[in-house]
């Protein structure tokens, strides 16, 4: 799963290039141009790291940082600033920034520093990201499927198939496509195997009637929820 970054920067040209580069480096980036928007984003979803420009229209970077720190004492924050002076840097660090880069900065260095802090991030209590399907929580990394406290452990193949279906809900997924991807090939027996797994998954998800795995005769399946 790609790390999710919150990038706040009002310079349109710079932010365009930077975001592009970060995405190339396999990060997922949400970009905001001012502190207010950034704050709304931050409240809406959990990020892995923040990159904040110090000079921002409406609420400067420091204010935003303070707000964020109040909610999340752990999230790594990198500051960007055009001003290089010492007091600025010190204030940033005192506010709970983890590093302070001066513009113009090297994108490569930024990426390395991001990785420093992602590496140092304390492992979440129960690692791996969950996906929600109806009443269930599916954790692909941990092979778990949870419904109000009840934990099922899936087998490797079960998790693979479920994961594949979940990536494309409510659309037609061809049999041969699944087989090629997960089994690596497509023959009669693999097809039968797939059917067995579909059947097992239906049973595992059976307690939520809003979830269905529909068969389209001769073509494939549709995962509905």
Partner DNA sequence: GAATGGTTGTTAACGAGATGTTAATGAGTT
Partner DNA sequence: AACTCATTAACATCTCGTTAACAACCATTC
Cβ atoms of 180 and 169 within 8 Å: the answer is no
14: which residues sit within 8 A by CB, 6+ positions away? 103
Give the single-character DSSP code of 173.
E
Q: Does 184 bind its own copies (CB under 8 A)?
A: no
Q: Which does 158 bind (CB under 5 to 8 A by kind): DNA, its own copies, none?
A: DNA
**CA distance from start to end of the chain:** 23
- Segment contacting DNA by CB under 7 A, of 8-16, 22-30, 59-67, 198-206: 198-206
Shortest spacing between CB 217 and DNA, in angstroms: 3
Q: Which does 51 bind (CB under 5 to 8 A by kind): its own copies, DNA, none?
A: none
Residue with token string 């497509």? 186
- What's the angle, vertex CA 194, arms to CA 189 and CA 199, rounded to 5? 125
User: Which of residues 21, 102, 137, 142 is near its own copies by CB under 8 A?
Assistant: 142
61: which residues sit within 8 A by CB, 6+ positions away? 8, 35, 52, 53, 54, 55, 79, 81
Nearer to its own copies, 71 or 84 (CB): 84
Q: Does 113 bind its own copies (CB under 8 A)?
A: yes
User: Which of residues 83, 116, 199, 210 is near its own copies by CB under 8 A?
Assistant: 116
- Say how far residue 208 (Cα) sits from the centre of its chain: 26
- Segment contacting DNA by CB under 7 A, of 41-49, 70-78, 117-125, 217-225: 217-225
24: which residues sit within 8 A by CB, 6+ positions away? none
- Segment contacting its own copies by CB under 8 A, of 21-29, 52-60, 115-123, 192-200: 115-123
Residue with token string 């109806």? 134
Nearer to DNA, 28 or 181 (CB): 181
Q: Which two tokens stand for residue 23?
A: 């995405």
Q: Can you give the binding site for its own copies, defined by CB under 8 A?
A: 76, 86, 89-90, 93-94, 98-99, 106, 108-109, 112-113, 116-117, 120-123, 125-128, 141-143, 153, 155-156, 167-168, 170-172, 214, 216-219, 222
């Amino acid at each position: 799963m790609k790390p999710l970054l919150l990038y706040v920067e009002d310079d349109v040209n710079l932010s365009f290039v930077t975001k592009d580069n970060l995405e190339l480096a396999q990060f997922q980036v949400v970009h905001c141009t001012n502190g207010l928007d950034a704050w709304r984003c931050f409240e809406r979803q959990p990020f892995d790291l923040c990159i904040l420009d110090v000079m921002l229209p409406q609420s400067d970077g420091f204010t935003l940082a303070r707000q964020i720190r109040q909610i999340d004492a752990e999230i790594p924050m990198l500051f960007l600033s055009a001003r290089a002076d010492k007091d600025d840097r010190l204030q940033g660090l005192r506010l709970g920034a983890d590093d302070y880069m001066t513009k113009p900065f090297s994108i490569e260095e930024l990426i390395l520093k991001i990785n420093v802090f992602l590496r140092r991030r304390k492992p979440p209590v129960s690692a791996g990201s969950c996906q929600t399907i109806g009443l269930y929580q599916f954790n692909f990394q941990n092979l778990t499927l949870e419904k109000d406290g009840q934990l099922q452990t899936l087998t490797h193949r079960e998790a693979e198939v479920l994961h594949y279906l979940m990536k494309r809900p409510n659309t037609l997924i061809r049999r041969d496509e699944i087989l090629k991807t997960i089994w690596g090939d497509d023959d009669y027996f693999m097809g039968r195997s797939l059917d067995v797994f579909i059947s097992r998954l239906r049973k595992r998800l059976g307690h939520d009637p809003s979830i269905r795995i529909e068969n389209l005769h001769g073509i494939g399946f549709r995962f509905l929820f």
